Amino acid sequence: MNSHQDGQNGASFAMGHRFGEHPFDGEYPGKLIIVEGIDGSGKSTQLDLLGKWLNSLGFVTVFTEWNSSPIVRGTTKRGKDDRMLTPMSFSLIHAADFANRVYTQVLPALKAGIIVLSDRYAYTAFARDASRGVNRDWLRRVYSFAVTPSLALYFKVPLEESISRIISGREEIGFYESGQDMGFGSSRAGSFRSFQGRLLDEYDSMTEEFGLVAIDATQPISTQQQIVRQHVEPLLPGAMKAHGQNVNEALTASGLTGRYIRSAPRSRPLEPVEAADS
């Protein structure tokens, strides 16, 4: 970890420690479990399976995902459609999305004792924006307000496997998704390969810095889910249970309706889902 000098007040800090230093870190009764990985890693499948398992045990869960805040979604779409987004504007829009979701979704749920399942977190910005040339230290400062996850799972998949999964599962790869805005390759496919390779390097470098738990995403889906549950089980004592209510009733009792929270992750498997062991 590198130390950096704050030009305004002269205070030094280690970047890995500065990120997530929220005044109530570790004091919330709820738990924040996040998944990260490059496209095609299968992280969304694993989060969906985890959410279903937790709900079957009676725990109340809520789901949040990257680039989903209603206050910026339309702006992001227009910027992409018109290809107007620079690396810095893209970064700031995502930071606004993230801040809105943290304060309207994540923190209220954690305070109520609920398990929050997040498909991507600040590490996505660290990987994507740095790959587009945005300063890494600046990114960590921008996201320094974020609460530290209780568990951060990084589904690691080799580049060629990721590309194979994406190509077989999608008709077209987007302009920004492929990194064509940065000219990473002469063709969209070549640009996508180069961009995903950069993302993989960024994630690998963050594993030690932020204590991400790396999981081999080439293993069978059921094996990965068993590993996920082994890491999650120690976090469950004290988390809210429904106690005979359905999830929506439990959320209402906690005053959390109307905060853009969905009760379970959407199923978006990137490959056929095997039955996970109990």
Q: How many CA atoms lie within 13 A of 118 on its CB side?
A: 31
Question: 246 lies in a domain?
Answer: yes
**39 is a domain residue:** yes
pLDDT tens digits, one per residue of 36-67: 999 889 999 999 999 999 999 999 999 999 88
Query: Taking residues 18-36, what's their average pLDDT?
Result: 75
Q: How far apart are CA 278 and CA 130, in angstroms?
A: 39
Considering the domain boundaries, does residue 84 fall inside one? Answer: yes
Does residue 276 form part of some domain? no
Q: Is residue 4 assigned to a domain?
A: no
pLDDT for residue 171: 64
Nearest alpha-carbon partner for 267 in 51, 67, 33 = 51
Buried-state track 54-68, b at ≥16 Cβ within 10 A, e below 16: bbeeebbbbbbbbeb
User: What is the number of domains present in the chain?
Assistant: 1
Q: Which two tokens stand for residue 223?
A: 């094996």
**In this predicted model, what pLDDT tens digit does every residue of 162-211 receive, in sequence order?**
888 887 766 677 776 777 777 777 677 788 888 889 999 999 999 999 99
Assign 273 a pLDDT band (cuts: 50, 70, 90): very low
Residue 273 within any structural domain of the chain = no
Could you list the residue range(s) of the whole structural domain that residue 142 is in? 23-253
Secondary structure of 47-84 in the HEC alphabet? Answer: HHHHHHHHHHCCECEEEEECCCCHHHHHHHHHHHHCCC
Average pLDDT over residues 21-25: 56
Domain contains 16: no
For the chain, give the mean pLDDT. 81
CATH classification of the domain holding 111: 3.40.50.300
For the entire predicted model, the pTM comes to 0.81
pLDDT (0 to 100) of residue 25: 61
pLDDT of residue 11: 33
For the residues 84-99, what does the mean pLDDT come to? 88
Residue 3 counted as domain residue: no
More confident site: 154 or 252: 154
251-264 tens-digit pLDDT:
888 888 765 455 44
Helix ranges (H only) for 57-187 are: 70-81, 87-101, 107-111, 122-131, 136-142, 159-169
